Amino acid sequence: MSNWLTYELSTGRILQRSSEQLADPGPGMSQIESAGRPFSHYVTSSSPRAVLERSPLNATWDKVAIDADGIDTATLSGLPVPCDVSLDGEVHTISDGTFELSVTSPGTYIVIVSEVEFLEQQWSITGD
């Protein structure tokens, strides 16, 4: 049985896997035959296209709890450049490899890093 991966041409992000090739995967999309999976693989942008495993993300926080005073910050460093960091659903594009978080309201903040060549990673940061 064949496995067909539908992916975004611009990013290589795999959107779905199916057993049949689609006649028209849609605008900006293509397909490649491979055993890869959407959450653990991506399609390279170079020709010929290949399906590769996503690498672990080696980013680290300097701390996971901060004062909710708008001054204290937690810094996530070692991010791929560029990448997208989502803070409670709001996406920030990172161009320098670091993301700094300061908050004014107490609570738990969910930070997700998404970059096609790396496994998605999520953290919880507490503001007290």
Residue of 40, 42, 44, 35 lying closest to 14 (CA atoms): 42
d(CA 14, CA 25): 12
> Domains plus CATH for the chain?
4-53 (no CATH), 60-127 (2.60.40.10)
Cα angle 83, 123, 13 (rounded to 5 degrees) comes to: 35
* Distance between CA atoms of residues 106 and 50, nearest Å: 45
- β-strand partners of 26: none
Strands 65-66 and 118-127, sheet pairing: parallel
Contact in structure between 116 and 55 (CB atoms under 8 Å): no
Q: How confident is the model at residue 1 (pLDDT cuts 50, 70, 90)?
A: low
pLDDT tens sequence across 55-108: 999 999 999 999 999 999 999 999 999 999 999 889 999 999 999 999 999 999
Name the pTM for this structure: 0.82
